[in-house]
Amino acid sequence: MLELPDGTDAVHGCFFELRRSGVNGKPMAMDRIDETVVRGTAETWTLRNGADMTHNFHVHDMRFRVLEVNGREPEPALRGRKDTVAIPVGTTMKIALRFDGPADPDTPCMYHRRLPAHEGHGMTGRFVVVEPGGRAGRPKAHEGH
Protein backbone atom coordinates (compact mmCIF):
# COMPACT_ATOMS: atom_id res chain seq x y z
CA MET A 1 0.00 0.00 0.00
CA LEU A 2 1.37 3.43 -0.91
CA GLU A 3 2.44 5.74 1.89
CA LEU A 4 0.10 8.68 2.46
CA PRO A 5 1.62 12.08 1.75
CA ASP A 6 2.35 14.30 4.73
CA GLY A 7 2.28 17.60 2.84
CA THR A 8 6.03 18.26 3.09
CA ASP A 9 6.66 17.39 -0.56
CA ALA A 10 3.61 19.16 -2.00
CA VAL A 11 4.39 20.90 -5.28
CA HIS A 12 1.11 22.79 -5.49
CA GLY A 13 -1.75 23.91 -3.29
CA CYS A 14 -5.38 24.66 -4.08
CA PHE A 15 -8.18 26.37 -2.17
CA PHE A 16 -11.77 25.20 -2.44
CA GLU A 17 -14.64 27.23 -0.95
CA LEU A 18 -17.63 24.91 -0.63
CA ARG A 19 -21.01 26.60 -0.93
CA ARG A 20 -24.44 25.49 -2.06
CA SER A 21 -23.86 27.38 -5.32
CA GLY A 22 -20.77 25.33 -6.16
CA VAL A 23 -17.05 25.17 -5.53
CA ASN A 24 -15.20 28.49 -5.61
CA GLY A 25 -18.37 30.18 -6.84
CA LYS A 26 -18.76 27.89 -9.87
CA PRO A 27 -21.40 25.20 -10.27
CA MET A 28 -20.31 21.94 -11.85
CA ALA A 29 -19.89 22.03 -15.64
CA MET A 30 -19.34 18.89 -17.73
CA ASP A 31 -17.32 20.83 -20.32
CA ARG A 32 -14.85 22.32 -17.81
CA ILE A 33 -11.70 20.99 -16.15
CA ASP A 34 -11.20 22.84 -12.85
CA GLU A 35 -7.76 21.53 -11.89
CA THR A 36 -4.87 19.81 -13.63
CA VAL A 37 -2.53 17.72 -11.49
CA VAL A 38 0.73 16.03 -12.43
CA ARG A 39 1.08 12.28 -12.01
CA GLY A 40 3.62 11.34 -9.34
CA THR A 41 3.30 14.59 -7.39
CA ALA A 42 1.74 15.56 -4.08
CA GLU A 43 -0.50 18.55 -3.42
CA THR A 44 -2.23 20.15 -0.47
CA TRP A 45 -5.84 21.19 -0.83
CA THR A 46 -7.48 23.58 1.59
CA LEU A 47 -11.23 23.03 1.93
CA ARG A 48 -13.43 25.70 3.51
CA ASN A 49 -17.08 25.02 4.25
CA GLY A 50 -18.77 28.36 3.69
CA ALA A 51 -22.21 26.76 3.35
CA ASP A 52 -25.03 26.49 5.85
CA MET A 53 -24.63 22.81 6.76
CA THR A 54 -21.96 20.14 7.22
CA HIS A 55 -20.75 18.77 3.90
CA ASN A 56 -18.97 15.51 3.18
CA PHE A 57 -16.14 16.03 0.70
CA HIS A 58 -15.05 13.12 -1.49
CA VAL A 59 -12.26 12.80 -4.08
CA HIS A 60 -12.76 10.11 -6.73
CA ASP A 61 -10.08 7.46 -7.04
CA MET A 62 -7.92 9.03 -4.30
CA ARG A 63 -6.90 8.47 -0.71
CA PHE A 64 -5.70 11.45 1.26
CA ARG A 65 -4.53 12.54 4.70
CA VAL A 66 -6.08 15.30 6.81
CA LEU A 67 -3.24 17.60 7.88
CA GLU A 68 -5.13 20.32 9.74
CA VAL A 69 -8.58 21.30 10.94
CA ASN A 70 -8.87 25.05 11.57
CA GLY A 71 -5.06 25.24 11.75
CA ARG A 72 -4.73 22.48 14.35
CA GLU A 73 -3.77 18.82 14.31
CA PRO A 74 -6.80 16.67 13.41
CA GLU A 75 -8.56 14.62 16.08
CA PRO A 76 -7.71 10.88 16.07
CA ALA A 77 -10.81 9.93 14.04
CA LEU A 78 -9.59 12.11 11.15
CA ARG A 79 -6.07 10.68 11.02
CA GLY A 80 -5.16 7.96 8.55
CA ARG A 81 -6.27 7.07 5.04
CA LYS A 82 -9.43 8.89 3.86
CA ASP A 83 -11.44 9.27 0.68
CA THR A 84 -14.26 11.27 2.28
CA VAL A 85 -14.35 13.72 5.19
CA ALA A 86 -17.18 15.59 6.91
CA ILE A 87 -16.49 19.33 7.06
CA PRO A 88 -18.67 21.24 9.54
CA VAL A 89 -19.98 24.73 8.79
CA GLY A 90 -17.25 27.37 9.06
CA THR A 91 -14.47 24.78 9.18
CA THR A 92 -11.26 24.90 7.15
CA MET A 93 -9.55 21.57 6.53
CA LYS A 94 -6.19 21.01 4.84
CA ILE A 95 -5.58 17.66 3.15
CA ALA A 96 -2.56 16.11 1.40
CA LEU A 97 -2.98 14.02 -1.75
CA ARG A 98 -0.54 12.14 -3.98
CA PHE A 99 -1.44 11.54 -7.61
CA ASP A 100 0.21 8.19 -8.35
CA GLY A 101 -2.53 6.69 -10.52
CA PRO A 102 -2.62 6.62 -14.29
CA ALA A 103 -2.61 9.87 -16.23
CA ASP A 104 -5.42 10.64 -18.67
CA PRO A 105 -5.77 14.27 -19.77
CA ASP A 106 -9.16 13.59 -21.39
CA THR A 107 -10.96 11.73 -18.58
CA PRO A 108 -11.69 13.88 -15.54
CA CYS A 109 -12.11 12.66 -11.99
CA MET A 110 -14.35 14.53 -9.58
CA TYR A 111 -14.23 16.06 -6.14
CA HIS A 112 -17.61 16.77 -4.64
CA ARG A 113 -19.86 16.79 -1.64
CA ARG A 114 -21.29 13.40 -0.95
CA LEU A 115 -24.92 14.08 -0.11
CA PRO A 116 -27.16 12.27 -2.60
CA ALA A 117 -30.13 14.52 -1.81
CA HIS A 118 -28.09 17.57 -2.89
CA GLU A 119 -26.18 16.26 -5.91
CA GLY A 120 -28.05 18.63 -8.21
CA HIS A 121 -26.76 21.73 -6.43
CA GLY A 122 -23.47 21.79 -8.35
CA MET A 123 -20.94 21.45 -5.54
CA THR A 124 -18.66 19.39 -7.78
CA GLY A 125 -15.40 20.07 -9.54
CA ARG A 126 -13.38 18.06 -12.03
CA PHE A 127 -9.65 17.41 -12.33
CA VAL A 128 -7.42 15.50 -14.71
CA VAL A 129 -4.10 13.83 -14.05
CA VAL A 130 -1.42 14.47 -16.69
CA GLU A 131 2.14 13.28 -17.24
CA PRO A 132 4.89 15.76 -16.31
CA GLY A 133 4.84 18.55 -18.88
CA GLY A 134 1.36 17.53 -20.05
CA ARG A 135 -1.79 19.62 -20.36
CA ALA A 136 -5.47 18.99 -19.81
CA GLY A 137 -7.24 17.63 -22.85
CA ARG A 138 -10.85 17.87 -23.90
CA PRO A 139 -13.37 16.11 -21.65
CA LYS A 140 -15.67 13.59 -23.23
CA ALA A 141 -19.33 14.57 -23.49
CA HIS A 142 -20.56 12.06 -20.88
CA GLU A 143 -18.47 10.38 -18.21
CA GLY A 144 -19.32 7.07 -16.66
CA HIS A 145 -18.11 8.19 -13.21
Is 88 inside any structural domain?
yes
Residue 37 lies in a domain: yes
- pTM for the full predicted model: 0.88
When divided into structural domains, the chain yields a total of: 1
Residue 12 in this model has a pLDDT that exceeds 90? yes
Residue 126 domain-assigned? yes
Round to whole Å and give the CA distance between 56 and 30. Answer: 21
> What pLDDT, on a 0 to 100 scale, did the predictor assign at position 136?
93
Distances from the Cα of 43 to the Cαs of 49, 77, 130, 138, in angstroms?
19, 22, 14, 23
CATH number reported for the structural domain that contains residue 71 in this entry = 2.60.40.420
Does residue 145 lie in a domain region?
no
Say if 42 falls within a structural domain.
Answer: yes
Question: How many residues are given for the chain?
Answer: 145
E-assigned strands of 1-145?
10-19, 22-23, 35-38, 41-49, 55-59, 64-69, 84-87, 92-99, 109-113, 124-130
pLDDT digits (tens, 9 = 90+) for 35-68: 999 999 999 999 999 988 898 899 988 899 999 9
Residues 80-115: tens digit of each pLDDT: 999 999 999 999 999 999 999 899 999 998 888 766
Tell me, yes or no, whether 115 lies in a domain. yes
CA separation for the pair 65, 97 (Å, rounded): 7
Please give the residue range of the domain that contains residue 112. 10-130
